[in-house]
Every structure is written in C-alpha cells, then in structure tokens.
Amino acid sequence: MTDTVTRDASRLATARALLFDLDGVLTPTVDVHMKAWARLFAPYLAAQGVEPYTDDDYYLYIDGKPRVEGVRSMLEARGLSLPFGSPDDVAGESTVWALGNRKNDAVAAELAENGVAAYPGSLEFLTAAIAGGYEVAVVSSSRNAEAVLTAAGIRDRFEVIVDGVVAAREGIAGKPAPDTYLRAAERLGFTPAECVVIEDAHSGVQAGRDGDFGLVVGVDRGVGAQELLDSGADIVVDDLAELVSALR
C-alpha cells in the first residue's frame, strides 16, 4: 500500500461497522449483471434505431443504481422514454418496469445455471472483520441480494441486509442517495461516522460521501481508481485483502 492508503486505511481500526455493497465488492456478480443488461439492451436499442449498447454504457448509466433507475437512465442516454409502470408489470418492453423485470429474469437464470462465488480477498477481509468484532451489513440496489449471498455461501454472515426489496417496501431512495446506507447503519445501531462504506460503483461511492460516513472505501473492479476518488472515495484498493492488516 502507498503511504496515503496506509494513513487513510488506519481509520478502519476505529470504525464500528462495515457496510458492504454486494455486486463487485463481495461477489463478482457484476459479470452476471453486465451480461443480463447487454442481453436486454443490445436488441432493444437496435430495434429503436439508436446508438448500439456497449459495456461502457453499463458503467456510465447503470452500475450501482436500482434496476428501474438503471433502465430509465439508459433510455434517457439515448433520448428514449417509456411510461414508468409498476413493479407488477409483466416482463417485456411496454414500460420501464417491464424492461427491468425482463432483466431480472435474465439474472435469475444466470445464477441458477452458473452460480457465483465470493471474491477470495473479500471473503478473507469479511472473515477477519467479523473475527475482529466489527458489525457487518450488505447494502445493495439488487433485488437478488438474498439469492446471490446464498449462492455464494455467505448469507449467514449478515443479520442486516438492505437491498432493493427492502428499499421498495420501506420507500427508501436508492443509490446515489445515501438513504439505504443510512438505514443499514440505523439498523446496526451506529451513526454514519462510526461506519465504513465499501463500494465499487460511482453511485455507491457518492452515497457514502453524501451520507457523511466515517470512511468510504472504493474497490476498483474496472471503473478506475481516479474515477472512484473523484466520486468521493477516501481510498481505493484493487482487492479488499489489501486492507486486512488495517483492521483491529
């Protein structure tokens, strides 16, 4: 680690709780989601006669956001719009929710067919954190968080999960708003200043910054270290195993 990373990482020792994003932080489900989004938008945008969908679009307009916000953001980026609809819309192309539900079906199929495993470095960090007495929670925009955690074999590590299902049920604004992270801190019984947000997406890092959390850790899975720093990360690492030695 650099001196700067070491100095900032030392703040981990005084934190009380660690709030983990899921996709791209604990599990490599970003690949699953990227394939699902491409499966959704590549043919849809082609049919609309607009600029083709690329992986860059995922990072620019979709990554880290609640599913329907990702759909709406991607449509707006191409000058398209649809009625918003409602969560019970049948998967299809008639509304924003219908497109989102079609994407969710693709994710569920991918998980069922191929499963998912936790990043080894993230698992090492999580195990060391729990052993060190930190409280932990998962904060995810995904409505598949329970299924992903179960598939990865780490569901039992987390008593508190604030995901897309919880956010919809409780009317909590999704990332980049800090509300889901604030809700997780509240459920654990800590102030934001006592918590560390661990994120790999622009929107999640922004949520940590705007929620005034004690430390915001960016994990660079392809977004770019400088981009995460610019979005509000205090430090950026390539793998959470780099921070095990900074835990108390």
CA 199 – CA 205 distance, rounded (Å) = 6
Res 119: pLDDT? 97
CA 55 – CA 58 distance, rounded (Å) = 5
Question: What is the token pair recorded at 204?
Answer: 């999640």
Judged on CB neighbours under 10 Å (0-12, 13-18, 19+), 52 is exposed
Our answer to whether residue 21 is catalytic in this structure is yes
Res 64: pLDDT? 77
Residue of 107, 30, 41, 31 lying closest to 76 (CA atoms): 41
Res 37: pLDDT? 93
Q: Give, for all 248 residues of the chain, the pLDDT tens digit.
A: 555 565 577 889 999 999 999 999 999 987 888 888 999 999 999 999 999 999 999 989 998 788 899 999 999 999 999 999 999 999 999 999 999 999 988 887 778 888 899 999 999 999 999 999 999 999 999 888 998 999 899 999 999 999 999 998 999 999 999 999 999 999 999 999 999 999 999 999 999 999 999 999 999 998 899 999 999 999 999 999 999 999 98
CA 240 – CA 27 distance, rounded (Å) = 12
Res 147: pLDDT? 87
CA 108 – CA 65 distance, rounded (Å) = 18
Our answer to whether residue 156 is catalytic in this structure is no
Q: How far is CA 164 from CA 4, 93, 180, in A?
A: 34, 21, 9
Candidates 8, 23, 163, 220; catalytic one:
23
Residue of 41, 123, 114 lying closest to 82 (CA atoms): 41
CA 133 – CA 125 distance, rounded (Å) = 13
Res 3: pLDDT? 54
In angstroms, how far is CA 22 from the centroid of its own chain? Answer: 5
Candidates 21, 63, 200, 220; catalytic one:
21
